[in-house]
Amino acid sequence: MKKRNMPLVYIAAVLISLFAIAPFVWMILTSLKPQAEIYSKPLQYLPQHLNAEGYKGMLNAKADPNVNFISWFKNTAIVSLLTTVLSLIVSALGGYAMSRFQFRGRMSIGYIILLTQMLPGSLLIIPLYLIMKDYHLLNSYFGLVIAYATIAIPFCTWMLKGYFDSVSTAIDEAASIDGAGRWTTFVRVILPLTLPGLVVTAVFSFLTSWNEFMFAQTFLSDYDKWTLSVGIASFQGQYVVNWDYLMAGSVMTTLPIVVAFWLLQKHLVSGMTAGAVK
Amino acid sequence: MNNDNALLGQPSLPTQQTEAAPRPRFWRSEWRRLKQNRAAYLFIAPLALAVGLVLLYPILKAALMSFQYWKVARPIAEGHPFVGLDNYAAVMDSGYFWQSLGITFLYIFVTVVLRFVLGIGTAVLLNTPFKGRGLVRALVIIPWAVPEVVTCLVFILMFDYQFGVVNDVLIKMNILSNPLAFLGESDTALWAAMFVNVWKGFPFAAIMLLAGLQGIPKDHYEAASIDGASAWKQFTSVTLPALKPVSVIVFLLLVIWTVKDFGIVYVLTGGGPSRATELLTIFIYRAGFKSFDFGLAAAAGMFLLLISVVFTVLYMKATKAGESA
């Protein structure tokens, strides 16, 4: 890039950064404003008086019977953790088989994995709702975890297969010569070598379930079983929206995710792009 | 990848056995193949079980339901009898279905193109060395990280008629003379929803395309620059052709995901006002969980599936073309 283009580069960089962060910044600013300032005319962009009422109200379950932020947070964390563990186990096994074994049906499983990527959730949810109802899995973490894990599994398998492919098969052969069986090779040799890939995949499925809305909204009717997405979205239908509460809840829902993204940026990106960009 | 398979070999295929191979070795390799396959099937079993029970079985059930009577609110003694193509006929007769199909295609077209263009611009920027590039990259990734529901709520606040910051800024800049209820008017709601989708989705396109850009050898640019090519000329004659394989994949992925898109529009508008933002996914969801006609919802879902299948086949073709190239 020639020197004379540099001002243009900086202008573009500032514009695109502003575009990307403006709603995020607005959320944080609003969460710190007293209600009067949120509804003030003319609009105040920066909070004139810092105010933590929203955060306090959200975290104090007794203040408002419609707010159960701590339960929602806990529910979301439990569901997301269980989903992550389940999908990681299944997709590590499957990804390893896809990467290392030559077996009948391997190609068709590859295609099926790809095909599951296109299944629309809004179609899937109709039969799944009836099946969950028949097995009394509505309103339970277990039902939601099964649905989330299965939706995350194909993509996780695909990602992990990529990581396993990047480990040379010479390592498997060396372990095999040393007398290790398939299982020992997998657990003791291959998994430790692909730890970064496992972490990325884990984060991916954690985020997917942390952010999911449609299934949680449809499967969970008990309000103390709700996840964060459902709980926060429930504010929106009310006649009077307490935007300071709502934005405080949003900040607390978002910050863990944004921090995770920043910490894992490089790995996340290489994991996402490994399969498609080659 | 292909090398790995070659290393593991395919001892099962008889054509690969040499005629001279002694019999005991042949049996041993057969036995090995069986054992190896058994291990493979054990490893793959949980995956097959999960995908089969929670993805394929429900889809088959949905396909079946689309030929059955499933009006939950009006149960009949026969339960769920087969009604032939009644549900499909009802879908085709519904003006709202065709309207939602049109809205879906418009939504896909506009948001995919915009995310793509913005993504390429951002990728080219992030591929240019400048001070603070790491920071810009970290900031650009934020929309991707913000949960969908949170994104929608922030935009509902920002688009608000009375105290939304978007109206405030546009009026101060003299672009608008009177405030607009962006999400509350049929004319603007879909475009506002598209804007939110583009904001949330452009970082993915940017990051994928950036990975593609980083794969272009530097000497291509040097050669072009020696030939006296301007920055724009370099972009059109070096960058774009080299990005073509990745672009096709990113483009199709965006389309496949947008066909399924539900959450953003549903939380922003619920499909309203007066169905102006009702995507096909929302039409299906409402047919199922608001009108409780699961048969109709399943039949409409089959149309959605068909659209997905078409683009997925295109995607498979594109990735295969990339592999052999």
Residue B60: what pLDDT? 92
Q: How far apart are CA A72 and CA A54, in angstroms?
A: 16
Contacts of A273 in chain B (CB under 8 A): 207-208, 211
State the angle between helix axes of B148-158 and B186-214 in degrees (0 to 180), rounded to the nearest 10: 130
State how far residue A117 is from chain B, nearest Cα, in angstroms. Answer: 8
Are A276 and B246 a contacting pair at CB < 8 A?
Answer: yes
The pLDDT-based confidence of B238 (bands split at 50, 70, 90) is confident
Q: Please tell me the least confidently modeled range out of A10-14, A226-230, A242-246.
A: A242-246
Q: What is the pLDDT of residues B289-321, one digit of tens each?
A: 998 989 999 999 999 999 888 888 888 787 776
Write out the DSSP string of B142-198.
Answer: HHHHS-HHHHHHHHHHHT-TTT-HHHHHHHHTTS-SS---TTTSHHHHHHHHHHHHH
Does B81 lie at the interface with A, CB-CB under 8 angstroms? no
C-alpha distance from residue A66 to each of A198, A212, A235, B160 (Å): 38, 21, 9, 23
Q: How far apart are CA B121 and CA B80, in angstroms?
A: 53
Considering only residues 132 to 191 of chain B, which have any Cβ-Cβ distance to chain A shorter than 8 Å? Answer: 132-133, 135-158, 162-163, 165, 168
The pLDDT-based confidence of B15 (bands split at 50, 70, 90) is very low
The pLDDT-based confidence of B115 (bands split at 50, 70, 90) is very high
Residue A40: what pLDDT? 80
Does the ipTM exceed 0.95?
no
Q: What is the pLDDT of residues B177-228, one digit of tens each?
A: 888 889 888 889 999 999 999 999 999 899 888 888 887 888 888 888 888 8
Residue B1: what pLDDT? 35
The pLDDT-based confidence of B118 (bands split at 50, 70, 90) is very high
Residue A112: what pLDDT? 82
Write out the DSSP string of chain A.
Answer: --GGGHHHHHHHHHHHHHHHHHHHHHHHHHHTS-HHHHT-SSPPSS-SS---HHHHHHH-TTT-TT--HHHHHHHHHHHHHHHHHHHHHHHHHHHHHHHH---TTHHHHHHHHHHHTT--HHHHHHHHHHHHHHTT-TTSHHHHHHHHHHHHHHHHHHHHHHHHHTS-HHHHHHHHHTT--HHHIIIIIIHHHTHHHHHHHHHHHHHHHHH--HHHHHH--SGGG--HHHHHHHGGGSSS--HHHHHHHHHHHHHHHHHHHHHHHHHHHHHHHHHH--
Give the residue-averaged pLDDT of B101-108: 95
State how far residue A62 is from chain B, nearest Cα, in angstroms. Answer: 23
Residue B98: what pLDDT? 94
Contacts of A30 in chain B (CB under 8 A): 157
Q: Which of A78, A34, A36 lies closest to A57 in space, CA to CA?
A: A34
Kindly state the DSSP code that residue B59 receives in the 8-state scheme.
Answer: H
Residue A82: what pLDDT? 95
pLDDT of A278 above 50:
no
Residue A256: what pLDDT? 84
Q: Are B147 and B153 in contact (CB under 8 A)?
A: no
Give the residue, B126 or B32, on which the prediction is more confident.
B126
Q: What is the mean pLDDT of chain B?
A: 84
User: What does residue B274 show for φ and ψ, rounded to 5 degrees?
Assistant: 40, 55
Are A102 and B8 a contacting pair at CB < 8 A?
Answer: yes
Q: What is the pLDDT of residues A195-213, one digit of tens each?
A: 888 888 888 888 888 989 9
Contacts of B304 in chain A (CB under 8 A): 120, 122-123
Give the residue-averaged pLDDT of A177-195: 87
Kindly state the DSSP code that residue B85 receives in the 8-state scheme.
Answer: T
Are B150 and A10 a contacting pair at CB < 8 A?
Answer: no
pLDDT of B288 above 80:
yes
Contacts of B61 in chain A (CB under 8 A): 127, 130-131
Chain length of chain B: 325
Are A100 and B9 a contacting pair at CB < 8 A?
Answer: no
Contacts of B138 in chain A (CB under 8 A): 262, 265
Residue A261: what pLDDT? 79
Residue B202: what pLDDT? 94
Q: What is the pLDDT of residues A67-112, one digit of tens each?
A: 788 889 999 999 999 999 999 999 999 999 888 888 777 888 888 8
Q: How far apart are CA B87 and CA B66, in angstroms?
A: 6
Considering only residues 233 to 272 of chain B, which have any Cβ-Cβ distance to chain A shorter than 8 Å? Answer: 246, 249-250, 253, 256, 259-260, 262-263, 266-267
The pLDDT-based confidence of A113 (bands split at 50, 70, 90) is confident
Are A118 and B311 a contacting pair at CB < 8 A?
Answer: yes
- Other C-beta atoms within 10 Å of B142: how many? 22
Reduced to 3 states, what is the DSSP secondary structure of residue B69? coil
Residue B293 β-bridge partners? B71
The pLDDT-based confidence of A57 (bands split at 50, 70, 90) is confident
Reduced to 3 states, what is the DSSP secondary structure of residue B35? helix
Give the residue-averaged pLDDT of A57-63: 74
Are B266 and A214 a contacting pair at CB < 8 A?
Answer: yes
Q: What is the pLDDT of residues A130-146, one digit of tens each?
A: 999 999 889 889 999 99
pLDDT of A237 above 70:
no
Give the residue-averaged pLDDT of B230-247: 83
Residue B39: what pLDDT? 80
The pTM of the full predicted model, rounded to 2 decimals, is 0.85
Q: What is the pLDDT of residues B54-103, one digit of tens each?
A: 888 999 999 999 998 888 888 788 888 888 888 899 889 988 999 999 99
Q: How far apart are CA B144 and CA A261, in angstroms?
A: 9
